[in-house]
């Protein structure tokens, strides 16, 4: 319990930091984002508040960033996009707001991106189609709008795509349906009922 001590940043050579599932409160100290040797940062399942500063872009060795299951707010930092070593980004089940920032499609080593169950608005960025190693993309449970970009069809390694509980509209791109015959086993959207928000004849589940 309690808050994350800022003195942790004095461990300048630390590569892995586990602080998950501890009922920690308060904001993430800015000093944590000066620990440039960090490769893994595990802060999930706490009660952390506040935002993630743009100085996260200084953690150039970071591969795994887990802050899911907190009460984090404000915008998703665009600084994530410059972290070329990131493979796993779990921001789900928080209170993030605003658009998904441009540039996240530059994280070319990304395997999993979880943004589900926040308060994100605006469109799904077209540059997500550049995340060629992505296997899991969870965007469900937000307030995203617009059409589902056909660029997502470039993600040939994608196994799970969850889009339900948003305000998306239009048709599921044909290229996404073609992926269903390969690796894409889980494809979910708001396609249930006689007048669905998303027209999808190939989704594994409709909501």
The C-alpha atoms of residue 94 and residue 54 are separated, in whole angstroms, by 18
- The tokens of 15 are what? 């590569």
| Residues 6 or more apart in contact with residue 78 via CB below 8 angstroms | 54, 101, 102, 103, 104
CATH of region 6-206: 3.80.10.10
Q: How confident is the model at residue 48 (pLDDT cuts 50, 70, 90)?
A: very high
Q: Is the pLDDT of residue 106 over 90?
A: yes
Query: Residues of the chain with pLDDT > 90: what percent?
Result: 97
Task: Give the model's pLDDT for residue 183.
Answer: 93
pLDDT category of residue 79 using cuts at 50, 70 and 90: very high
The pLDDT of residue 199 is: 97
**Are 67 and 49 within 8 A, CB to CB?**
no
Do residues 79 and 57 make contact, with C-beta atoms less than 8 angstroms apart?
yes
Prediction pTM value: 0.96
Q: What is the pLDDT of residue 1?
A: 84
Rounded mean pLDDT, 41-53: 97
């Amino acid at each position: 319990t309690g808050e994350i001590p800022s003195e942790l940043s004095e461990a300048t050579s630390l590569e892995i930091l586990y602080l998950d599932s501890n009922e920690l409160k308060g904001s993430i100290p800015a000093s944590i984002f000066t620990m440039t040797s960090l490769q893994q940062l595990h802060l999930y399942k706490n009660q952390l508040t506040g935002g993630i500063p743009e100085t996260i872009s200084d953690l150039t060795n970071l591969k795994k960033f887990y802050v899911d299951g907190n009460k984090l707010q404000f915008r998703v930092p665009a600084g994530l996009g410059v972290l070329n070593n990131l493979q796993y980004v779990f921001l789900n089940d928080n209170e993030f707001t605003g658009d998904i920032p441009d540039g996240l499609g530059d994280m070319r080593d990304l395997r999993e991106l979880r943004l589900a169950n926040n308060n994100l608005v605006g469109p799904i960025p077209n540059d997500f189609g550049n995340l060629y190693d992505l296997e899991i993309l969870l965007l469900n449970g937000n307030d995203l709008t617009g059409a589902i970009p056909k660029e997502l069809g470039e993600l040939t390694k994608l196994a799970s795509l969850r889009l339900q509980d948003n305000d998306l509209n239009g048709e599921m791109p044909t290229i996404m349906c073609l992926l269903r015959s390969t690796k894409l086993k889980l494809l979910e959207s708001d396609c249930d009922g006689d007048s669905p928000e998303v027209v999808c004849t190939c989704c594994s589940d409709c909501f």
